[in-house]
Structure formats: C-alpha cells, structure tokens
Structure 1
Amino acid sequence: MLPVPRADLEPNTEAFETTPLVAPTGFREYDARWLFPSQINLRGVQALGLGLGTLIHEMGIEPKISVGHDFRGYSGSIQQALMNGLMGAGCEVFDIGLALSPVAYFSQFALDVPAVAMVTASHNENGWTGVKMGVERPLTFGPDEMSRLKKIVLEGTYKTRSGGAYHFIEDMRERYIEDLTNRPNLKRKLKVVAACGNGTAGIFAPRVLEAIGAEVIALDCELDNTFPRYNPNPEDMEMLHALRDKVLETGADVGLAFDGDGDRCGVVDNEGEEIFADKVGVMLARDLSAQYPNAQFVVDVKSTGLFMTDPVLLKNGAKTDYWKTGHSYIKRRSHELNALVGFEKSGHYFFNQPIGRGYDDGPLSAIAICDMLDRNPDKSMADLKNALPKTWGSPTMSPYCDDEKKYDVVDRMVTLFSAMADKGEMLAGQKIRELVTVNGVRIVLEDGTWGLVRASSNKPGLVVVVESPTSEENMRAIFTEIDTRLSAQPEVGEYDQKI
C-alpha cells in the first residue's frame, strides 16, 4: 500500500520518489488542479487514482472508467500514474489516450462505462495539471464528491483490490468526430478561422468544421506543448486578438477559439470584434428558442443580464435560471431543469437533447454557431451581435488571491455589500436594487448595472465581472467601486487583465 500522502516533500530527495506528494489545495470545488511537480508528484497522482477507485467502489458504481489526457509535456505520464492507481483499486480502465474533455465524456456513452477521469489543466497555464471526474454521465463531481475524495486521499484510506484491468482504445478520436459530423452539411458557404493555441483541440476542431462543410483557416493548430504564442484560453484577450487579426486578414465569416482541453469556445465576429461568450449565448438562445418555444436555459452568475430582459427571448417564451459558476454546477443544474442549453460566460455550453448529451463540448458549440449563421443566410455574425440590446461589459478579470484565503475575502465582500444594501447606501451614484449571493456576490444597481465578485474555482484568484445596460461610464464606475474595496484587502494581488 502506498504511504499516506504528505504536502511538504522536497524535490530531488528519496522521499519525493517514494512518498505521495499531494497539496490539499488541489482539491477544488468540482475538479482537481495542482502545479506539477511542486504540489503533486507521480506517486501523488497514483494515490489520487487509488482514492478515486476507492470512492467508485464506495458509491456502488460499476468499477469501469474511461481515462484520457490533454496535450502537455507531462500529461501522458500523469495519466499513466492515475491509471496505475485506478487499476490498483480494482477498476477496469479504458485508456482513450490523447483527447479533449468532451471526447472523454463522449467515451462514457460510446463505451457504455459509468465513470470518467480526464487528465487536464484546462485553460490553466503550463505547469498546471488536474483531473475532471464523474461517475454519472453526463455529470461531473461536485463539492460533496470532491470533499470525500480529498478525505480518502489525504488520510491514505484508499484500498487496493483485485480485478483491475486495462484496455487501450485506439479509435475514440475518430468515433467522436464521426458522431459530431454525421449530419447534413451547411448550406451556406462559411469561412471559419479555428484558433487552438497549439493545444489539443488543434487535431479535432478543424477536422470537425471541415466535415460539416466549412472552409477552415487553421490558426496555431499545430500541437506544441510549450504554447509558444499564447495560452489556449478563449477568455484571454491575447488569444482573441490573434484570432481577430486572422479574421480581418482573411475576410472570414467568424473566428472560433478553443481552450486547451476543447470544452470551451470563444468567438470573434466578421468585423474582428470579440463577442464575450455570454453574449454569444444570448444569440444562440434567440436562435434556438425560435425553434423550441418556451425553452428553458441556465446561465451562470457571471453572465449578462440580457437573458432576463432581451425582448426576443421574452417573445419566444424563454425562461432563464441564473446559477453558480462552474462547469459542474451549470451542467448539473441544466440536467435537473431539463434545460435546452446551459451557458457559462467562460464559454462552456451544455447542450441537452435533441442537440447534445448534456456535457460541455467546444466543437459542438462551434457547430451550433455555424448552424445559427446557416439559418440566417442574409446576416453576418456582426449583424446578429448588433441586433442585441446594447450593453457595456468587461472580460473576466482575476486578481490573485491565495487558495486558502480567497473564500474569506469573498465572504467579507458579501458582508460589506449586504450591509450597504441594508442601510440604503449609494454605490456608483445609485441604490443597490438586488444582491445575488448564490455564488459570491452579484451587486445589481437601480439601472441594471451590475458587478460580480467570486472566488475562482480552479486557481488561486478571485473573479470580477461588470456590465451596464446604460453606459460604459456606469460599467467603469461599478468596477472602480468594487476594485477599491478589493484593493483594500491585503490578500488581494495583481489582476491578470483589467478594463
């Protein structure tokens, strides 16, 4: 049996090679993320596999699990260590190899296995690794499962069992692409730039788009695990600006950006303007609610207020539920409400039947965007965007805050703004109309201007988003109010980007 994990091992020592290193902070709300190898070593990943296998048995789930990995220099070795642990816990492992997260989720259905473990750091920078896990397709773990897994691993109460087995699945990429593209081709001739940041999506997204009849211009689709140009994150302006330049250079109809594990999609229109993913969500909701009247949608608290006020959505009878940010939360909420689609501002979209199977899938989101353009042959992407009511919004901004301190900081912000609302105090020259505290605090002012502060679920940092339906001045004013209060907290550091 492996020793009980420790969090204080020094590299280049005997203990580092023989004892699991597992930092407790790596267990997040709904998945796991560590810096490798300073926060977790290969023995630690093996312990994680043993813990996950133990939990699968404890939950009474058939011990069969599909396992894949993204394209980073160390992800293959981490997958091997994870599978060793899973097999040691008596699990039958199906190795799908190099994959996107949606390919791993798809493989649960294709192979008829209940569990999944995808080795990926998603959009986090190089040096990070992690695992997205689930045992009830199409859902992934939430806080309860993650808390139990953390306890099993850190206390070393994992159990070895006989019965472990290994299967290598060599064709899951082809099966996934065939599943997405076994449909009629687009009628409209669309020129699409596909930007992949040299991440895993480079060997998936262009092929999918070409197979549905789009003319594809590949941008940074060659696999390179050093990510030489920019981190593959469709929320980062550096990636969106590179995509903008290529769209303008080539006269493309749309630019689509994919993150490192391919479960998100970002958009630049034909005029080179980035469209934040929540606004793209409103556009898709307009298009889909016309086909499916009275459709139910779910969106995260970072998203635009237009889901509640847009006249087209109201006319189509669309209903929208605002819920906690996080792919696991929105996926689960969409499943519970039988929503047609769940949308996150980060670009995770969850299409349920009859469009998808309920998990977040960047290439499927790209297909939905192309289909929207196909159904509007006389309108450009910019036309569809400009038809939305005007709002002024920010990208997602993340000031640094230590994992062990960020939730306390957010609690202080909730208390502070709640006290202001109770006293009727003014913020940015307006009264506070509403506070939404389902996930951090979303402060809504009288004119609909709002700002959000929450803790990041997958890295040490906070999340700040602001929007105004009335003016850029009001959008900037509420950001200044929030930033002033955050900057007064000694635990809060520099932003990754700012308006």
Structure 2
Amino acid sequence: MSFPAPEIFKAYDIRGIVDRTLTADAVRAIGHALGSEAVKRGQRTIAVGRDGRLSGPELAGALAEGINAAGVDVLDIGCVPTPLSYFAAFDLGTDSAVSVTGSHNPPDYNGLKMVLGGQTLYGDMIQDLRRRIIENDLVHGLGTTRQADVRDAYITRVTGDVKLKRRMKVVIDCGNGVAGDIAPRLFEAMGCEVVPLFCEVDGNFPNHHPDPSKPENLEDVIRVLAAGDAEIGLAFDGDGDRLGVVTRDGEIIYPDRQLMLFAADVLSRQPGAQIVYDVKCTRLLAPWIREHGGEPVMWNTGHALIKAKLKQSGAALAGEMSGHMFFKERWFGFDDGLYAGARLLEILSASADANAVLKALPTATSTPELNLKMNEGEPHALIAEMQKSAVFDGARDIIKIDGLRVEYADGFGLMRASNTTPVVVLRFEADNEAALARIQADFRRVLLGARPALALPF
C-alpha cells in the first residue's frame, strides 16, 4: 500500500493537486482513517458533500468507500456548498460531516474539510489521520451509503429566520463555484430581485477565479453594479463559505468592516457578548465592538481555529479577514458565506440607502494581504526568529498570538506564517499614507536585517 503524500495534511484541512498528491486511493485511505476515528468517538454516520470541481464525484465516492470500510454509514448529500455539509450534520442528526472541496484553490486542487462529533478537525487531529494510515490503526466493518438532500431544508431554515424589511435588488456572483446552484434560489426566496453572475456551476472556473478576497475577482460585480440599478453585490468563493461585498458605487467592503456591521447588530440583542476576530483585522474593530457594548477577542487566523475559539469561549459571533463569518447567535457557529450574505441584507434592508450604511463604516488606510513567498518550512522559522529578536521603532505593543502584530500609535503591521502555503503573510494599516509608509519601512528594516536577500512585496 502506498501512503498518502504527507504534504496534503494541512493545518486546517486536507488539500492537494488531484492525481498528483491527492489521488482517489489517498482519499479512500483517509476515509478509512476518518471512519476509524469516528468509531472511536462514537459516531456512526457521516454526511458527505462536495463542491463543483470536476474531480469531486470520484473523490467523494472514494471517501465514502473508505468511511464504509470502517463500518460507518455515509449520507451522500451531493454537490452542495461546504456550509450545507456543515448544516447537514445538524439537520440530519449525524453531528459529523465532510466537504470534498478545493475551496478557492485552482481547478486542479481538491481536498477535505472535516467535522466529527461537532468538532472541526485541525492540527494534530489531521496529522493523526495520517498516523492511523501509516500504522494501520484502522477498524473494519461494512457501512452503507445512501443519498440525502438538505438544500430545501437549508433554504427553509434561513428564510424562516432572516427577514428583510423591504425588497432589495442584488448582484450575486458565484464565480462558477458550487454556491451558484443555491444562492439565487435562497436570495429570491428571501424576497430579493437577483441579478445572477456566473451562477452556472463549472469546475473549470471559466470567467474569474472564485476568491472574493482578491479585488480583481470582484471587477465583474463592480461592472454590473455600475451598468444597472442593483444596490449591492455579493460574491462567494468556490465552496460558498466566504463572502465578498461590493457597494452600489463599487467600493469593496472588506470582511473586517462587514464584521463591524454584524457585531453592532448581534450586540443589540446580546449586550456584553464576546466577538472573536483574527489578527489580520483592522485596529478600528476592537473600539467599535466596545462602543457597541461587546467584548473584543483577537485570535489566530484559520477557520478551524476561529471555530474552536468560538465554541470554547461562548462568543456570539466571529469573523476573519479572509471572509469567513461565524454566527452563533441565531445560527450554528460554522462559517457560511450564504448565511452571512442573508444577515447582511437583513441589516441593510432596515435602511432606505444600503450604500450609505456601508460607506459610513469606519475605515483606515491599509494594504491588502501581501504574500512573501519562501521555501517550505522557511516562513515559520523566520517568524519564530522574529518573535525572539525583532525590535521595532516606536511600537506600543507587540502581539504574538499568531506571528507578530506590531501596534503603533497611528497604525499596525503584521507578519505571520501561513499554515496553508509557504508564505509570510503581511498586512499594514495606518491613519494616513505617511504613517503607513513609516510602518512599512520599520518592517522592511527588521526583515532585511534578518534576511537581506528577501524580495519583499512592499
């Protein structure tokens, strides 16, 4: 037996290049390990969904075969957004679910996002699946696979909870990802007039890449908004668990500003609640949360890590700069771009001018996420070294929960090692361009002092 490639076992999920590092045999073996772990945890049934990638049917089938080989049953919920796989764990009572998805990666990628007994697998739990395969620590049985459908139940659950105060006209861009199969139906059921954009599910992603965190992937939404009379644009990533937002006049509302709106809304009903956000978010978020009666909690980047913190802390809401939003208030606490879009429209529908509400949110001069490419293993080594020895000019505070977030009187700089690709992630924010340039110069001095050959992206 050949063992799955070690590099596909990532920090938050399993991910690789189809037929190279991620083969059907590898997924079958992982399924057997996952089923064995499910048995250990007393779980007897796992819901399995898949996104719209061309490799999805074969890999989902192999996964089900592996899970069945451990004596665990599979409910195959078909081609659905990742949030619907999570929803199935609640709606079908399985408590366990796997989404076969490459998320926002290129078309030749695929992977697995896994939940067992209500716990998202990450870190050592994912590495333990590999250990089970290598050590043949597997249980054997004869599980069954049968079909199930949660799409109507999902739409019914969302529309039963989220109510618009008025009809809204919305551009919905799914980038040919799997959200295209359900997003137009959902928002029409809520009473919206929908302008669909690239809602045909096509794993080749022929129009633009389904990653709304990159501004170039929102250009089509901006163009359609400018040409028509829709009042907002919503964009979803490849598997529908992340949300991008564009105003009527073409301004991108990044997720940390979306989180301000969500926090104010949630805190109006749950005063004093904790709101969790990741280290990449704006420094304007914490004071906003306090002003609205909440307790801000900064945490590590990563959807699985944020979910674990949300569960452990009892917070009402969480979000991260990548676009994952996690509602515990009125929802289940998993990241769901579709539900986040619905909650956003509910808030905006209370105003006659959605554009004005969005544009009134506090903002600062900032950079997008910048990536410093390095060789495998180098980013974590560099950040560990920086945490020990780096000295920054004029820093008020240095936060080390995930890399280094250096707070200045008039801005912040961040450097952290990505847990998914061999890059150092950098982000900068300041009160003005001059302060931004000064903070970047401070980071440039520190980084080049440690690694003079680095090709910095700023």
- Common topology (TM > 0.5): yes
Q: Which residue, out of 345, 354, 359, partners 1:380?
A: 354
Aligned match of 1:130: 111
User: For 1:491 and 1:256, how far apart are their aligned partners in 2?
Assistant: 41
1:16-415 map, 5 Å: 22-58=4-40, 60-137=41-118, 139-153=119-133, 155-169=134-148, 171-183=149-161, 185-310=163-288, 313-353=289-329, 355-375=330-350, 377-381=351-355, 383-415=356-388
User: For 1:173 and 1:279, how far apart are their aligned partners in 2?
Assistant: 30
SS at match of 1:209: helix
Instruction: Give the unaligned 5+ runs of structure 1.
Output: 6-21
SS at match of 1:317: coil
User: For 2:105 and 2:49, how far apart are their aligned partners in 1?
Assistant: 17
* 1:483 shift after superposition: 5.1
Aligned match of 1:18: none
User: For 1:476 and 1:68, how far apart are their aligned partners in 2?
Assistant: 46
User: For 2:301 and 2:75, how far apart are their aligned partners in 1?
Assistant: 30
Does the alignment pair 1:455 with 2:417? Answer: yes
User: For 1:145 and 1:491, how far apart are their aligned partners in 2?
Assistant: 36
| Offset from partner CA, 1:393-418 (integer Å, 9 cap, x none) | 2222223234433311222332343x
Equivalences, count:
457
Aligned match of 2:402: 439
* 1:492 shift after superposition: 6.2
* 1:156 shift after superposition: 4.3
User: For 1:52 and 1:364, how far apart are their aligned partners in 2?
Assistant: 28
User: For 2:422 and 2:99, how far apart are their aligned partners in 1?
Assistant: 21
Contact in 2 for aligned 1:61/1:114 (Cα 8 Å)? no
TM-aligned CA distance change 1:40 to 1:320, over 3 Å: same
SS at match of 2:140: coil
Q: Which residue, out of 454, 457, 466, partners 2:428?
A: 466
User: For 1:348 and 1:34, how far apart are their aligned partners in 2?
Assistant: 21
TM-aligned CA distance change 1:176 to 1:402, over 3 Å: farther
User: For 2:280 and 2:443, how far apart are their aligned partners in 1?
Assistant: 15
Contact in 2 for aligned 1:350/1:361 (Cα 8 Å)? yes
TM-aligned CA distance change 1:308 to 1:115, over 3 Å: same
| Offset from partner CA, 1:271-299 (integer Å, 9 cap, x none) | 11001111111122123323332222100
Q: Which amino acid aligns with 2:16?
A: W
SS at match of 2:259: helix
SS at match of 1:432: coil
SS at match of 1:213: coil
* 1:370 shift after superposition: 0.3
Provide the identity percentage.
Answer: 32
User: For 2:309 and 2:180, how far apart are their aligned partners in 1?
Assistant: 30
TM-aligned CA distance change 1:494 to 1:471, over 3 Å: closer
**Scaled by the length of structure 2, what TM-score is found?**
0.94
* 1:260 shift after superposition: 0.6
* 1:305 shift after superposition: 1.2
| Offset from partner CA, 1:209-237 (integer Å, 9 cap, x none) | 11111111111111121111221011011
Contact in 1 for aligned 2:132/2:138 (Cα 8 Å)? no
Contact in 2 for aligned 1:401/1:493 (Cα 8 Å)? no
* 1:477 shift after superposition: 3.5
Contact in 1 for aligned 2:405/2:415 (Cα 8 Å)? yes
User: For 1:455 and 1:184, how far apart are their aligned partners in 2?
Assistant: 37
User: For 1:135 and 1:306, how far apart are their aligned partners in 2?
Assistant: 36
| Offset from partner CA, 1:245-268 (integer Å, 9 cap, x none) | 111111321111100110110111
* 1:204 shift after superposition: 1.3
User: For 1:78 and 1:176, how far apart are their aligned partners in 2?
Assistant: 24
Instruction: Give the unaligned 5+ runs of structure 2.
Output: none
RMSD, matched Cα: 2.0
User: For 2:453 and 2:211, how far apart are their aligned partners in 1?
Assistant: 26
User: For 1:386 and 1:184, how far apart are their aligned partners in 2?
Assistant: 23
Q: Which amino acid aligns with 1:140?
A: T
**Scaled by the length of structure 1, what TM-score is found?**
0.87
User: For 1:241 and 1:412, how far apart are their aligned partners in 2?
Assistant: 39
* 1:385 shift after superposition: 3.3
| Offset from partner CA, 1:300-328 (integer Å, 9 cap, x none) | 11111122222xx4333111100011111
TM-aligned CA distance change 1:73 to 1:485, over 3 Å: farther
| Offset from partner CA, 1:406-437 (integer Å, 9 cap, x none) | 311222332343xx15xxxx2xxxx0111111
Contact in 2 for aligned 1:282/1:306 (Cα 8 Å)? no
